[in-house]
Amino acid sequence: MAEGRPRVVVVMPAYNAARTLERTYNDLPKEVVDKVILVDDVSEDETVEVARQLGLEVVIHNQNKGYGGNQKTCYQEALSDGADVVLMLHPDYQYDSRLAPQMIAPIIEARADMVLGSRLLSGGALAGGMPMYKYLSNRFLTTLENLAFGMHLSECHTGFRAYSRKLLETIPFLLNSDGFVFDTQVIAQAVAFGFRIGEIAVPTRYLPEASSVGFLASTVYGLATLNVVGQYILHRSSLVRCARFSKTLSEVLNPHYRARVLTRDQA
C-alpha cells in the first residue's frame, strides 16, 4: 500500500475468461491498484492457469455459484484483504480497465460511495455493438429504476463498478441473488441505506470472445429487475418489510467470519 493512499483491490468474477483475461489485466493501471483477486466460477477453459501466470490471487469455487454468487466471494475476499476501495472488473474485456483511476476517484475523494461505469452516458452504446434489444431494455429498466429509487442515472445495468468499504460493510449483499439481478439489488440496497451513487462514461465493447447474455436470459433478468423494484417500493412504503433493505452485513454474516471480513467497529 502506498503511503497515504487508500488500499484499492480489483476483483474479477471469472468464468471462461482465458482468451480475454491477459488483455484486461495488462490494460489495468498498476500504479493505482494494490491487489487483483480473481474468483473462478468453475471455468471450463484455462482461466485459472492464465490468472496464476499473471501473478493474480486466485480463489476457486468448488461448484458453479453464478454471477451473483461469484461477486459475494469477491467482496468478502476484498474486505478480508483490507480494501478501502473495491473495483469490480469483468475479465472478458467488455469494459476498459484503463479507466480504473476515473472509476475510483469519486470514492477516494469522498464524492461517492458507489460508482457505475455507464455505457449510455456518452451515447455510443449502439456504435460499440450493444444489440438494439439490450439497448432499449436497458433504457426502459433504468428509467423505471430512476423513478423508483429517486435517481438520475444514465445506466443501472453495467458490470463495471466501484464501491467504498463502508458501503460493502453495510449492505447485506449475502442476501442477494446468485444470478445477474444481484447488480440491481446492490443499487437498491445502496439507495435504501442512503449511499451516494455516481457514474462516469465508459466505452461499449461487444466482442465475439467476450461473455454475453442471450435474449431469453435477458428477458428473465428484466423481469427479475422489475421484481426488485417492486420489493423496494413495498419496503419503502412499509407495506412489506424486506431484510435485504434493512439488515446490515454484520447481521447476516456468519459470526465466525465477522472478525475476518469486517473492521472492528463493524464486527
Which residue ranges make up each domain of the chain?
A: 8-260
Residues in CB range of 261: below 8 A, 6 or more apart: 76, 79, 80, 249, 253, 267
Which of helix, strand or coil describes residue 105? helix
**Distance between CA 18 and CA 37 in Å, rounded?**
15
User: Where do we find the cell 455510443?
Assistant: 124
pLDDT in tens, 78-120: 999 999 999 999 999 999 999 999 999 999 999 999 999 999 9
Q: Is 214 left (phi over 0), alpha (psi -120 to 50) or beta?
A: beta
| pLDDT bucket at 194, cuts 50 / 70 / 90 | very high
189, three cell numbers? 440496497
Q: What are 211-242's pLDDT values in tens digits?
A: 566 778 888 999 999 999 999 999 999 999 99
Lowest mean pLDDT among 8-17, 170-179, 212-221: 212-221
**No. of H helices and E strands in the chain?**
10, 7
Tell me what pLDDT residue 2 has: 45
Q: Is-contact 50 21, C-beta < 8 A?
A: yes
Rounded mean pLDDT, 202-210: 76
Q: What is the pLDDT of residue 204?
A: 86
In which residue are the cell numbers 466460477 written? 41
pLDDT of residue 209 exceeding 70:
no
Superfamily of domain 8-260: Spore Coat Polysaccharide Biosynthesis Protein SpsA; Chain A (3.90.550.10)
Query: What confidence score (pLDDT) does residue 1 get?
Result: 39
Instruction: Give the pLDDT mean for 178-194.
Output: 98
Q: Backbone phi, then psi, for 39, in 5-degree steps?
A: -110, 115
CA 234 to chain centre: 25
pTM of the predicted protein model? 0.94
Average model confidence (pLDDT) across the chain = 94
205 band by pLDDT with thresholds 50, 70 and 90: confident
